[in-house]
Amino acid sequence: MTRKTLLAGLAMTTTLFTAPAFAQECPVKVGVLHSLSGSMAISETTLKDVMLMLVDEQNTKGGVLGCEIEAVVVDPASDWPLFAEKARELLTVNEVDVIFGSWTSVSRKSALPVLEELNGLMFYPVQYEGEESSRNVFYTGAAPNQQAIPAVDYFLEELGVESFALLGTDYVYPRTTNNILDSYLKSKGIADKDIFVNYTPFGHSDWATIVSDVVALGASGKQVGVISTINGDANVGFYKELAAQGVDAADIPVVAFSVGEEELSGLDTAPLVGHLAAWNYFQSADTPENEAFIAAWHDFIGDTNRVTNDPMEAHYIGFNMWVNAVEAAGTTDVDAVRAAMWGQEFPNLTGGMAVMNANHHLSKPVLIGEIRDDGQFDIISQTTEVPGDAWTDHLPESAPLKSDWKDLGCGMFNTETDTCVQMTSNY
């Protein structure tokens, strides 16, 4: 146990005094665990930058608990085992009070055992497959019911898609998400022969055969749609190949779950116009909160061409909720901050209010955006706030499960047996 943790714990548990026996040790340290090199740097570098902005902004307001906040940045370099090593380094060597980081689910799952062993706290800002709820993670990105399921519904109800190509990078997030979607599509009457699933490695570049297979899916005359869980710089080759084969959104619409403004900023977007993405935020949201956020971002980064995106908003919400929880708890102690997080509310950038639920997932709106030629999105669909589900209703093994860390003290509670199940690495 570090001196900082010990003092914070004593401050929380002492009830004989009106003030903590020891003052908060300064500075308060925030770990930033994002890839700045490798295949995921295209997406994660901006998240490091926005964390530095948020820390800087909070320090101009006086920091937290009277302390300056210090950002400790490490680079796990898109190397999944290195996320565990860097998380351990942040918690034991740098003695950070909280970590904001990871993008891919495999990187999060690499860090998870370290977080639970050392009772560290991490805020994870990216859409993911669900099927997890750790007491040491707050999931500020979208669960499947806040992105994947609504996107499929849009394809079914608005675009009349009858055949689905589920294309993903080969790791846990696309595979689990597509298992959920496969079950969901069949429950909606889509036949097995009308569901094409394909996985490719990180950095995959030769898309000719796969795109041809997708085009062939529509040979019978049915409307084809692509659900894309392709991650990182592999998206560049995928969209280029669509254009090379003359496929546009009017022929075969693509809805992507990992392509946002940052990824589009590095592409020739002309062939992508009309394709879609599903997120909880787009830079084009017309609200005073978003206008202020964009202005602050451009001022901090010194470049008005730098875009904002959904995971940046997730860090914005998560960081501000963490600050408010620390102030409410009067300490950075993880157990006290966790308890103070449940029920936290903070305005999102699309005009509503984000709420942190007892399952460690946010309530957030679901947005569908259509790609414009300037790399931004026209918001064509937006819901009210949807509570994130840790466990999907669309897999039989998950349907009875619920997460409630506040009242049940359990992230994997079986409602049929009234027992708390130990979450394993299989989830």
Q: Assign residue 303 the CATH number of its domain.
A: 3.40.50.2300
Quick: pLDDT tens for 339-349: 999 999 999 99
In a domain, 175, yes or no: no
Give the per-residue pLDDT at 137.
98
Least confident window among 237-241, 285-289, 316-320, 398-402: 237-241
Residue 132, domain extent: 3-142+285-363
List the single range of 170-179, 261-270, 282-291, 376-385 with lowest mean pLDDT. 261-270
**d(C-alpha 379, C-alpha 376), whole Å:** 10
Asked if residues 136 and 108 have their Cβ atoms less than 8 Å apart, the reply is no
- Phi, psi dihedrals of residue 241, rounded to the nearest 5°: -70, -35
Give the gyration radius of the chain's Cα atoms: 21
**Which of 420 and 233 is assigned the larger pLDDT?**
420
Strands 386-387 and 362-364: antiparallel
pLDDT tens across 159-203, in order?
999 999 999 999 999 999 999 999 999 999 999 999 999 999 998
Q: Is residue 390 part of a domain?
A: no
- 8 Å CB contact between 152 and 227: yes
Q: How many domains does the chain have?
A: 1
pLDDT of res. 23 = 63
Residue 354 forms part of a structural domain: yes
Calculate mean pLDDT across residues 358-365: 98
Indicate if the pLDDT at residue 1 is higher than 60: no
Asked whether residue 54 is domain-assigned, the answer is: yes
Write the CB contacts of 304 (distance below 8 Å, at least 6 apart in sequence). 298
Is 66 inside a domain boundary?
Answer: yes
In a domain, 18, yes or no: yes
pTM above 0.75, yes or no: yes
> How big is the CA angle at 177 (ends 175 and 178), to the nearest 5 degrees?
65
Is there a domain that residue 393 lies in?
no
Compute the Cα dihedral for 324, 326, 328, 334 and give only its sign. positive
Question: Residue 9: inside a domain, yes or no?
Answer: yes
Residue 241 has pLDDT above 80, yes or no: yes
